[in-house]
Amino acid sequence: MASASNKEMVKQSQSILEKVILKESQTTMQRVKEKATNAYLYIVYVVSMIVMGGMAYLLYEEILAPGAPQTVFSKALSLIRKDPNCLRLLGDSIMGYVEGPGRMKQVEHHIYKKDGNDRTRVIFNVKGTRREGIATCEMEKSDGMWKWRFLIVLSTDLVPECVVLIDNR
């Protein structure tokens, strides 16, 4: 009994390197089980890397790409905030927003091709201290570069006023 407890104490005090070097021989079934476990873990790793790559691609295409609706919205809103005619029409501290149910509101957009060029049209609401309005803008990808086609702000009063910031149609 004393020798059995001495063996356990020696096993516990061995370093990991000693355990690897002095590894006891395994049966064929134990080796097959270990190889199957390793193969399963490699497959899980590869599949998870593929899924993460797909998610990164979707994130780029939907949010970060130059022609993505969210990017067009952000660029248009910054141009509207800097324009003196829009400041006169809407007032100071202009904010842009979208309407829709729930928390995750998406920018209303339409992506299409015309004359062989990709186009993204975005419509959103703007609100200043004086008035509210609707902004409509479109960007076109020609020669690999995204360029503005138009950016128009229309107030939603009884007598609507229109400010054309960009018109390259």
Q: What is the CATH number of the domain that holds 154?
A: 3.10.450.320
Provide, rounded to the nearest whole percent, the portion of the chain with pLDDT above 70: 86
Full domain range(s) for residue 112: 65-167
* Residues 158 and 133 reside in one and the same domain: yes
Indicate if 47 and 100 belong to the same structural domain. no
Q: Measured in whole angstroms, how far is the alpha carbon of residue 106 from the centre of its chain?
A: 12
Q: How far is CA 3 from CA 15, 59, 127, 141, in A?
A: 20, 62, 84, 80
Is a pLDDT exceeding 70 seen at residue 1?
Answer: no
The SS3 call for residue 80 is helix
Residues 79 and 19 in one domain: no
pTM here is 0.67
CA-CA distance, 66 to 142, in Å (whole number)? 12
Per-residue pLDDT tens for 10-62? 666 667 677 667 666 778 888 889 899 999 999 999 999 999 999 999 888 87
Query: Do residue 52 and residue 78 come from a single domain?
Result: no
Domain identity same for 84 and 149: yes
Q: What is the pLDDT of residues 80-93, one digit of tens each?
A: 999 999 999 999 89
pLDDT at 11: 60
Given a contact cutoff of 8 angstroms between Cβ atoms, the answer to whether 140 and 149 are in contact is: yes
Which of 21, 46, 62 is the last residue in one of the domains? Answer: 62
Structural domains of the chain, count: 2
Give yes or no: residues 160 and 148 share one domain: yes
Among 62, 95, 114, where does a domain finish?
A: 62
